[in-house]
Amino acid sequence: MKAIKIFISSVQSEFANERVALCDYIRGDALLGKFFQPFIFEELPAENCSVPQAFLSEAAACDIYVGLLGDLYGYENEAGISPTEQEYDIVTLNKKHRLIFIKKTKTTARQDKEAAFIAKVEKLMVRKTFSSFEELRNAVYASLIRFLEEKEYLRLLPFDATFHHTATLNDIDDEKISLFVQMAEKKRGFPVAAGANTQTVLTHLDLLSEDERIANSALLLFGKQPQRFFVSSEVKCAQFYGNKITKPIPAYQVYRGTVFQLIDQAVDFVMSRIDARVGTREKSTQVDVDYELPLDAVTEAIVNAVTHRDYTSNGSVQVMLFKNRL
């Protein structure tokens, strides 16, 4: 997955040690380091632009803004605004996720403009206070874990039952839902009547939350473009001349689509490339076809491979047909 960018903002001289230590902590933590990419201005290489342009550009591009506020307001531009407040304003304007941590201090030691800035922040959001780096580190850790849980990067439910954080009903194909209901009603007595809308069907299948978030499995089963959400949801099929993986490969296909489509395409790939004995119409108008491998067995194997795979893995399902085995 793409790294979540964190912009750490503060008066550099006041929080020089905390900035570096916090950045190193996030990168080095076994869990946080997998998800987050922290940034501090001290690490920015030389660029052909002004300092304000550089830090405001980084702030605007971040996913999470971490602001450390203390006693000092910092350097002021011509308008009398510090870089820290400019950064806060631009992430607020761009609706970034903001986390504010205020250092406990004597009120008399805090500069008036810093006190006014803190009051401005407190009107809009909840902030945490700290008196040591350990307290700051623990507070930042708790806030970042909560962010991961809210965005469902950390899942408490199985993958298929987890609701996707960006997908909407517009990503579900109504026609695929309708065809599913017709087949399920005919073959299994599905209780939802044909013609029911998409919300009704998904709700019955427990694939739609009360606030209309879509379950991952709904995207895999009925999505217009499942691979837009799960890139590795594909099946690679290859046929080999002998009993080993060697080139040239006579047939190779990469199939994409819903889970139903993946299974159908992969089964067709195998069954169209194995030996089959075709009967006669001596006793019936129907011609019996006896495949080298039973259709039911091939289908079951591919169904298991597609439905029981780890969809959080970057790997895809592979179906390999050799001369002596599947």
Residue pair 169/160 in contact by the 8 Å Cβ criterion: no
Q: Report residue 7: phi and psi, to 5°.
A: -105, 115
**What is residue 74's predicted lDDT score, i.e. its pLDDT?**
92
CA distance linking residue 79 with residue 124, whole number of Å: 23
Same-domain pairing of 175 and 264: no
- pLDDT tens string, the chain, 326 residues long: the values are 689 999 999 998 999 999 999 999 999 999 999 999 999 988 776 555 566 777 889 999 999 999 999 999 999 999 999 999 999 999 999 999 999 999 998 767 899 999 999 999 999 888 999 999 999 999 999 999 999 988 878 866 788 888 888 899 999 999 999 999 999 988 888 898 888 999 999 999 999 998 899 999 999 999 999 999 999 999 999 999 999 999 999 999 999 999 999 999 999 999 999 988 887 776 777 777 788 999 999 999 999 999 999 888 888 999 999 999 99
Domain boundary among 117, 150, 183: 150
Q: Could you tell me if residue 326 is inside a domain?
A: no
Q: Could you tell me if residue 189 is inside a domain?
A: yes
**What is residue 47's predicted lDDT score, i.e. its pLDDT?**
59
The domain total for the chain is 3
Residue 14 is part of which domain span?
4-150
Domain boundary among 106, 128, 150: 150
Q: Could you tell me if residue 72 is inside a domain?
A: yes
CA distance linking residue 301 with residue 309, whole number of Å: 12
CA distance linking residue 99 with residue 92, whole number of Å: 11
Same-domain pairing of 271 and 289: yes
With 0.75 as the threshold, say if the pTM is over it.
no
Same-domain pairing of 21 and 146: yes
Domain boundary among 129, 150, 171: 150
Same-domain pairing of 30 and 132: yes
CATH number for the domain harbouring residue 67: 3.40.50.10140
**What is residue 12's predicted lDDT score, i.e. its pLDDT?**
86
Q: Could you tell me if residue 81 is inside a domain?
A: yes
Q: Could you tell me if residue 104 is inside a domain?
A: yes
**What is residue 255's predicted lDDT score, i.e. its pLDDT?**
98
Please identify which residue in the block is written with the tokens 């080999």: 240
**What is residue 187's predicted lDDT score, i.e. its pLDDT?**
87
Same-domain pairing of 12 and 143: yes
Same-domain pairing of 179 and 85: no
Q: Could you tell me if residue 114 is inside a domain?
A: yes
Count Cβ atoms below 10 Å from residue 35 Cβ, excluding itself.
20
Same-domain pairing of 131 and 68: yes
Q: Report residue 160: phi and psi, to 5°.
A: -70, -25
Instruction: List CB contacts of 227: < 8 A, sequence separation 6 or more.
Output: 233, 234, 256
Same-domain pairing of 37 and 130: yes
CA distance linking residue 285 with residue 181, whole number of Å: 32
Same-domain pairing of 76 and 128: yes
Helix (H) or strand (E) holding 4: strand 4-9
Q: Could you tell me if residue 198 is inside a domain?
A: yes
Burial (Cβ within 10 Å: 0-12, 13-18, ≥19) of residue 38: buried
Same-domain pairing of 260 and 173: no
Same-domain pairing of 20 and 146: yes
Instruction: List CB contacts of 281: < 8 A, sequence separation 6 or more.
Output: 287
Q: Could you tell me if residue 279 is inside a domain?
A: yes
Written as one letter, the residue type at 154 is: L
Residue pair 51/37 in contact by the 8 Å Cβ criterion: no
**What is residue 97's predicted lDDT score, i.e. its pLDDT?**
96
Same-domain pairing of 292 and 204: no
CA distances from residue 30 to 27, 141, 154, 157, 226 in whole angstroms, order as listed: 8, 12, 14, 21, 30
